Amino acid sequence: MRLSRRAAIRLGGAGMLAVAASRRRAQAAEAIRIGAINPYSGPMALYGTEVTHGYELAVERANAAGGVLGRQVVLLRGDAANPQQGISAVEQLAPSVDVFAGTYLSAVSNAASDAALRHERIYWDTNALAQDLTQRDLPNFIRSGPDADAFARGSVEAVKGLIAPALGREVKDLSVWIEHEDSIYGSSIAAAQRTLLQAAGAKIAGVGAHPASAIDLTDTVLRARRAAPDVFIETGYVPDGNLLLRTSRDQGFTPRATLFVGTGDTPETLSSLGAAFLEGKLVESYPRPDVAPAYGPGAQDYAEAYRRKFGHDPIAPQGLTAYVGMQMLLEAIAAAGSTEMAKLRAAAAAMDRPLHSYATGFGAKFDAHFQNIRALPTTIQWQAGRQVTVFPEAAAAAGVRLAPLSGRG
């Protein structure tokens, strides 16, 4: 049989393509593929991308050290700005990923993790806060970051351990106003804060709820001002938090201490209010890279790696928590020797790392609902336009001092 030159070229080309495809398949089989479910479009894109930046840095670090189980780790992005998109992103990625990670938005986490279960994939959540995510007891859901309850406890600890001493008062002598946006996020944190503060003996001067999309909060501020609380706690988002602070300024509402929860520590708030007005105000938030090295070993390395890769400072602290969460996931995969759901879950259950093992100051110990009980937020204070970690005391870097809490003296 004779082959024409053209047929020979075609045959040779097809052979080369087949070899290349086979090599690509082999490489793909070797890599551990993680689907990163976050909003990369829509109003939360900035923060979704920031969370995934944390994943990227953790993955790069692991790959530079030889990978996990001798395999490289590859991240695949799944854009999800709402629950429907979360399901769709999981369905799209499921055939080609081993594990899912996420999520900046709790509502997306809820839907996406459910979809991941149908494909028997672990959904490793690093950032979503909603309390009920772990209460569902989904067999594929593990949360490495703090939950809403941790933020509520952290904020109350800040009142007890930071604000009360700074004001020279006992907690039982403090009156506290609890303000929150009225979705499940703000409501659940506020309810827990109220219970914990009452248990600590503090007087609850009032509880207020407002929509995050409110365009006027004067009535809210006037109610709080009438109650004249010593401490004003607010859980919300950036726009309503900024509006609340601006209205407080207009109405001369100056509680002795102001503590924001979850937001209020980003440049968006600084540009809205200015450094002078923010001076002394506190924010309960995800740990930042400025924590003391002994509290969060490697936090500075993260900040430097971030600057090298992205050319600017971290935009929000969520990235560091995501970075640590991805580190924990990769450790769990290494311990499990597999990405199989049951094995990975067992490996997570066996994790027992003390506090201050990671750059956020977190440890790793999962409760029966697979919530990491060693993931704790920290408290920052605005000082001269900078966010400085001040609480817990061990988290504050050397030389950091608490500035006056502002407000009426």
Partner 1 sequence: MGQIVEVLVAGLLLGAVYGLVALGLNLVFGVVRVVNFAQGELVTLAMYATYWLYAHYGINAYLAVLLVVPALFVLGVLLHRLVLAPLQDEPMMQIFATFGLVILIQNLLLGITQGQALSIDWPFARTVIAFAGVNVNVARLVVFAALTAITVGLHLFLRDTMPGRAIRAVIQDRRAARAMGINVDRVLLLTVGAGAGLAGIAGALLAPIFTLSPAIGGNFILAAFAVVVLGGLGSLWGAYIGGLLVGVVEACAGFYIDPALRQAIWFAIFIAVLILRPAGLLGQVGAEEVGFRGQQ
Q: Work out how close the CB of 147 gets to partner 1 at its nearest, in angstroms, rounded to a whole number.
A: 24
Single out the residue of 70, 168, 252, 311 in contact with partner 1 (rule: CB under 8 A): 252
- Pair of tokens at residue 276: 């002078």
Single out the residue of 160, 210, 345, 365 in contact with partner 1 (rule: CB under 8 A): 210
Among residues 107 and 364, whose Cβ is nearest to partner 1? Answer: 107
Distance of CA 18 to the CA centre of its chain: 44
397 binds partner 1 (CB under 8 A): no
Stretch near partner 1 under the rule CB under 8 A, chosen from 36-44, 289-297, 305-313, 376-384:
36-44
Single out the residue of 226, 307, 309, 408 in contact with partner 1 (rule: CB under 8 A): 226
Q: Work out how close the CB of 343 gets to partner 1 at its nearest, in angstroms, rounded to a whole number.
A: 38
Among residues 42 and 293, whose Cβ is nearest to partner 1? Answer: 42
215 binds partner 1 (CB under 8 A): yes
Q: Work out how close the CB of 210 gets to partner 1 at its nearest, in angstroms, rounded to a whole number.
A: 5
Check if the beta carbon of residue 78 is closer than 8 Å to that of residue 93: yes
Number of residues that bind partner 1 (CB under 8 A): 38
Stretch near partner 1 under the rule CB under 8 A, chosen from 27-35, 245-253, 283-291, 383-391:
245-253
Among residues 142 and 190, whose Cβ is nearest to partner 1? Answer: 190
- Pair of tokens at residue 128: 């979503």
Stretch near partner 1 under the rule CB under 8 A, chosen from 68-76, 189-197, 236-244, 370-378:
236-244
Sorted by sequence, the CB contacts under 8 Å of residue 77 that are 6+ apart come out as 35, 36, 38, 40, 52
Interaction mask 158-197, partner 1, x per CB under 8 A: ------------------------x---------------
What is the rounded CA–CA span in Å between residue 201 and residue 164? 12
Interaction mask 350-379, partner 1, x per CB under 8 A: ------------------------------
Among residues 252 and 311, whose Cβ is nearest to partner 1? Answer: 252
Among residues 372 and 387, whose Cβ is nearest to partner 1? Answer: 387
What is the rounded CA–CA span in Å between residue 326 and residue 201? 39
Contacts (CB under 8 A) with partner 1, residues 264-303: 268, 271-274
Single out the residue of 219, 304, 313, 352 in contact with partner 1 (rule: CB under 8 A): 219
Interaction mask 301-340, partner 1, x per CB under 8 A: ----------------------------------------
CA dihedral 122, 378, 251, 182 (to 10 degrees): 20
Interaction mask 45-74, partner 1, x per CB under 8 A: xxx-x-------------------------
- Pair of tokens at residue 2: 């004779």
Q: Work out how close the CB of 150 gets to partner 1 at its nearest, in angstroms, rounded to a whole number.
A: 25
Q: Work out how close the CB of 183 gets to partner 1 at its nearest, in angstroms, rounded to a whole number.
A: 11
Q: Work out how close the CB of 45 gets to partner 1 at its nearest, in angstroms, rounded to a whole number.
A: 5
Q: 378-383 and 282-285 as β-strands: parallel, antiparallel, unpaired?
A: antiparallel
Residues that bind partner 1 (CB under 8 A): 41-47, 49, 182, 208-211, 213-220, 222-223, 226, 238-239, 242-243, 246, 249-252, 268, 271-274
